[in-house]
Structure 1
Amino acid sequence: MTAVDTPTTTTGWLLSVLILVGALPMLCAVWQFVLVSLHGRRSHYDRADPAHLPRVAVLVPAWNEAAVLDFSVDRMMALDYPPDRLRLVVVDDASTDGTPELLADKGARHPGRLLVLRRAQGGQGKAHTLNHGLAALLDDDWAQAVLITDADVVFAPDAIARLARHLADPEVGAVTAFIREASQPPNWMSRYIGYEYATAQLAARRAQNVVGAQACLAGGAQLLSRENLEALGGRIDTETLAEDTVTTLLTQLRGRRVVFDPHAQCYAEEPASVTGLWKQRLRWSRGNLQVSRRFRSVFFRPSRTHHLGNVWFGLQWYATLLLPAFMVLASTALVVLWLLDAGDAHLLFRAYWSASAFAFVLTTTYTLLLDRGVARRSWRQAVAFPGLVNLAILAWVLVPGPMHALVRGVAEGTGLGWTEQSRSLLALTAYVWGAGCMLAAWAVYRLDRWRLTRPLVPALVLLVGFGPLLCAITFAAYVAQARGKATTWDKTEKTGKVAVS
């Protein structure tokens, strides 16, 4: 080996390591489903008591929510829970629509069970509205637990009872439910979200139950014991855009458990367009970045009072949060390695995408098996989740012979030819696409904002992928935080059309 060769060899090894590091999120996803398989043995059901029915105050923040409250209030009043042990408290955040009138009418229909609090000045965001209600609830000794939810969320008849049974264990401070996407009528976007919710809740939170560390109480379904709320100071965090995650982590840091019950279910309407999704998830992603900065000293540090320092939990947290960065890292390393040694680049490319294929098949199959309703409603979106371009790359790696013949036929049929130069161009495009798909997803978002190009968006999302779209939103959150964008609450618009089984 000559002096000239050494830097190239060293660089090649370094780039190879970076590509393999880029596969870390996939390895974490695979291990997550190994943990899911243990949930039957490591769940909390053995310490739950179905006869435990504490007095529950359901706290709902509402700002111009007349469209959704008309249905959700009536459903809450009809739940399979003792009427004398369930109260609904709606905090009207200075609404300017028909919310005050609607709540007055509902209050007359349900005397003593519906309490309406109105803020004289609203617009500060969900957390401030919740704190207004919590101050009133904790000033009275009636409530033994508080269920924080959203105005549009509709609970299954037995959902609150299923949640409350876990509070029989004094070590549990909070319980969360499975929020099922139930927009009516369903469209292509809602079906993608329905599948995503299954992976993020039914799978991920089961795995978190197993390791004893929950990342986030679902914002629309978080039941907290009174003792836990008082230990948290009786207030919800107002400094971040992820107040539910802050509540989750603080609960565990103070020595109480947070439990996910997949059998306690509720239904919610979700965004119907890319623009609506981008607005909602940008807020979520920015909140997660803020939380990560605030609690950075918690991860990977074992503790006797909580399990947030669990290695897998920390890896999964950052693998999810930094997934766009991992994608850019792997793609950039592949391109640079290709410039140095095309053969080594091809070998690492196959290894990287083979790992991707294994993780995709395992996680998709397992998720669909967890819930037949999601499987029936969203199996097409589950298969297409990475996008057709990524699926083509996966096929190219898994069945190179047929794909090679297909790609060659297309290249020759379009006049591109099948020369060494055209093959190199195709390989480079595949290497770049690992990160470039996020740029393509951002372009789809921009097209969704224009009326003339909006009809093209469903087909473009199918091509580019819903997964890359979510990653593009997370990357946009990086940029927003780096620029110091103001921490303001952008409400997701809802219509009140929810299908409840």
Structure 2
Amino acid sequence: MTLLLWVLSALVLVGTLPIVSSIVGYLLVMFHRTRDHLDRADPDAAPRVAVLVPAWNEAPVLRYSVDRMMGLDYPAERLRLVVVDDGSTDETPEILAAASARHPGRVVPLRRENGGQGKAHTLNHGLRTILADDWAEAVLITDADVVFTSGSIARMARHLRDPRVGAVTAFIREASQPASWVNRCIGYEYATAQLAARRAQNVVGAQACLAGGAQLHSRENLEAIGGRIDTGTLAEDTVTTLLTQLGGRRVVFDPHAECLAEEPASVVALWKQRLRWARGNLQVTRRFGEVFFRPSRRHRLWNPWFALQWYSTLYLPAFAVLASASLVTLWFLDGGVARLLFSAYWGLSALGFVFTTLYTLLLDRRIARRCWLQGVTFPGLISMATIAWVLVPGPADRLLAGAAGAAGLSWDAQVREWVLLAAYTWTSACMVAGWAVYRVDRVRALRPLVGPLMLVVGFGPLLCAVTFAAYVAELRGAAQTWEKTEKTGKVVAA
């Protein structure tokens, strides 16, 4: 029995690894000024850049994004836009033809008559054309809806003067107008995943992923990885990122290079996008898993914190299920030990939540103004109530007793124990609740409930539910299809 208690206790503590990894990452951000690569960058660098855009039925966004790209603060003779029309059936061909006439020699439309194979195949069609001559010194891979701010390409390009750098990525800011609750949640999440996590990755010298809509590659890097984008996974940008670093070239994140993007406005659209991302990351892990935690002089992907972050993010749902199942089992075996570990788990969660939320909101004032409510309620009101019950048990207990009394219910010791058991299960049950929010959003008549439900359940648990669904899809061997996120041009007003 003692051994079992130790094993279960260890599993609960293992469940805190994602929290520990996040806290360490934010501490690493404090050292970013010394590892931001600006000391090796050249502000006057202006390589010839071919901007590569895959496009399938992108008329609503191409109407604006092409001219915005042509008007950027970058030498006109050194910037060329190559748009690959992947067999579009809308007005995309006509819009590109008109743009090519307005910007002769600078806008190059290409077309794949038999499209529909996915983004990577479309990009490879463009890369074959771009690399066929020696004009391009760098290639910027982006999406049709992404709008780069005035000096962003120059800020990215300055890093390529260092021959050790193979690729550079920028900060993608969610900028949909008007913004839904989901848009604002994504805006906050992007701050945590980019402004914070990618800064920390700069510090340790390893990047997990070049943002799909903002990845600038040197020509040498593209040629070194084969002159093409991987088509064997759903995470082609991650594969490119890892291959670049495995080849001994550095990937740099520049938080001052910024671009605006339209992200999913509904839970259903978000689920489709993130399911593809999560499945892709599982596929990438199977392919490259041996490089993590294994020291190498050629790359830094083995860095202990980086490897811990990779796995704790990917397997967060599994950690949550293990912790929850262990707490429930301990509830039956030794209630005292269960309560102690429950308090430790949620106490550490509270520390991580407060620290990372405040830090994130301080990193960017615009995100703080736009998304502060989504940041504060990111884990959901139920999780926040659980944290309060752990940190201030007396007041929380009195509040619950008052609520139970108002509802005509009792609040005795037995009821407290059952509520405690429910709290133990919430660590993993929250993912079921997140899945339920997704199902509600699929029913048109119930969509008004989605906002309040997300406030209660939390955006974080919803993302965990998507990752868990990716486990199931991969185990089932579900069809590997690349479904693009529908864009409407909502970022134009930003």
User: Does residue 318 of structure 1 match 2:311?
Assistant: yes
| Displacement of 1:497 | 1.4
Q: Residue 175 of structure 1: which of 162, 168, 173 is its match?
A: 168
Q: Counterpart of 2:276?
A: 283
| Displacement of 1:499 | 4.7
Aligned structure 1 segments of 4 or more residues deviating by more than 6 angstroms: none
Q: Counterpart of 1:197?
A: 190
Q: Residue 66 of structure 2: which of 64, 73, 76 is its match?
A: 73
- 2: CA distance between counterparts of 1:38 and 1:222? 24
Secondary structure in 2 aligned to 1:259? strand
Provide closer, same or farther for how the CA distance between residues 499 and 356 of structure 1 changes in structure 2, counting only shifts above 3 A.
Answer: farther
Q: Counterpart of 2:224?
A: 231
Deviations 1:44-85 (A, max 9, x none): 000000111000000000000001101100100000000000
Q: Which amino acid aligns with 1:317?
A: W
- 2: CA distance between counterparts of 1:42 and 1:228? 22
Q: Which amino acid aligns with 2:200?
A: A
Secondary structure in 1 aligned to 2:223? helix
Deviations 1:405-430 (A, max 9, x none): 00111122223302222111100110
Deviations 1:187-239 (A, max 9, x none): 21111000000000000000000000000000000000000000011000000
Q: Counterpart of 1:496?
A: 489
Secondary structure in 2 aligned to 1:296? helix
- The answer to whether the 8 A contact 2:206-2:300 is kept is yes
Secondary structure in 2 aligned to 1:79? coil
Matches within 5 A, 1:480-495: 480-495=473-488
Q: Which amino acid aligns with 1:147?
A: L
Q: Residue 445 of structure 1: which of 425, 434, 438 is its match?
A: 438
Q: Counterpart of 2:137?
A: 144
Q: Counterpart of 1:409?
A: 402
- The answer to whether the 8 A contact 1:416-1:422 is kept is no
- 2: CA distance between counterparts of 1:284 and 1:439? 20
User: Does residue 100 of structure 1 match 2:93?
Assistant: yes
Q: Which amino acid aligns with 2:269?
A: G
Q: Counterpart of 1:61?
A: 54
Q: Counterpart of 1:111?
A: 104
- The answer to whether the 8 A contact 1:22-1:329 is kept is yes
Q: Counterpart of 1:4?
A: none
- 1: CA distance between counterparts of 2:226 and 2:341? 52
Q: Counterpart of 1:426?
A: 419
Q: Counterpart of 1:267?
A: 260
Q: Counterpart of 1:335?
A: 328
Q: Which runs of 5+ in 1 are unaligned?
A: 1-6
Matches within 5 A, 1:342-491: 342-491=335-484
Q: Which amino acid aligns with 2:235?
A: A
- 2: CA distance between counterparts of 1:500 and 1:464? 31
Q: Residue 39 of structure 1: which of 32, 39, 44 is its match?
A: 32
Deviations 1:77-101 (A, max 9, x none): 0000000000000000010000001
Q: Which amino acid aligns with 1:324?
A: P
| Displacement of 1:341 | 1.2
Provide closer, same or farther for how the CA distance between residues 175 and 159 of structure 1 changes in structure 2, counting only shifts above 3 A.
Answer: same
- 2: CA distance between counterparts of 1:160 and 1:454? 39
Q: Which amino acid aligns with 2:134?
A: D
Q: Counterpart of 2:199?
A: 206
> RMSD value over aligned CA atoms?
0.8
Q: Which amino acid aligns with 2:320?
A: M
- 2: CA distance between counterparts of 1:229 and 1:12? 53
Deviations 1:448-501 (A, max 9, x none): 000111110100000000000000000000000000012110110000110565
- 2: CA distance between counterparts of 1:421 and 1:499? 57
Q: Which amino acid aligns with 1:164?
A: A
Q: Residue 27 of structure 1: which of 2, 20, 31 is its match?
A: 20
Q: Counterpart of 2:114?
A: 121
Secondary structure in 1 aligned to 2:325? helix
| Displacement of 1:317 | 0.1
Secondary structure in 2 aligned to 1:141? coil
TM-score, normalization by structure 1: 0.98
Q: Counterpart of 1:18?
A: 11
Deviations 1:95-126 (A, max 9, x none): 00000011111111111100011012000000
- The answer to whether the 8 A contact 1:164-1:223 is kept is yes
- 1: CA distance between counterparts of 2:466 and 2:57? 27
Secondary structure in 1 aligned to 2:291? coil
Provide the identity percentage. 70
Deviations 1:139-176 (A, max 9, x none): 01100000000000000010000000000000000000
Q: Counterpart of 1:3?
A: none
- The answer to whether the 8 A contact 2:177-2:493 is kept is no
Q: Give the count of matched residue pairs.
A: 494
Q: Residue 245 of structure 1: which of 224, 238, 244 is its match?
A: 238
TM-score, normalization by structure 2: 0.99
- 2: CA distance between counterparts of 1:418 and 1:137? 70
Report the more deviating stretch, 86-95 or 491-500.
491-500
- The answer to whether the 8 A contact 1:56-1:145 is kept is yes
Provide closer, same or farther for how the CA distance between residues 430 and 355 of structure 1 changes in structure 2, counting only shifts above 3 A.
Answer: same
- 2: CA distance between counterparts of 1:181 and 1:481? 29
- 1: CA distance between counterparts of 2:4 and 2:402? 36
- The answer to whether the 8 A contact 2:18-2:316 is kept is yes
- 1: CA distance between counterparts of 2:36 and 2:296? 21
User: Does residue 255 of structure 1 match 2:245?
Assistant: no
- 2: CA distance between counterparts of 1:70 and 1:212? 39
- The answer to whether the 8 A contact 1:267-1:500 is kept is no
- 2: CA distance between counterparts of 1:326 and 1:392? 21
Q: Which amino acid aligns with 1:195?
A: Y
Deviations 1:350-380 (A, max 9, x none): 0100000000000001011110110000000
- 2: CA distance between counterparts of 1:420 and 1:341? 16
User: Does residue 303 of structure 1 match 2:283?
Assistant: no
Q: Counterpart of 1:292?
A: 285
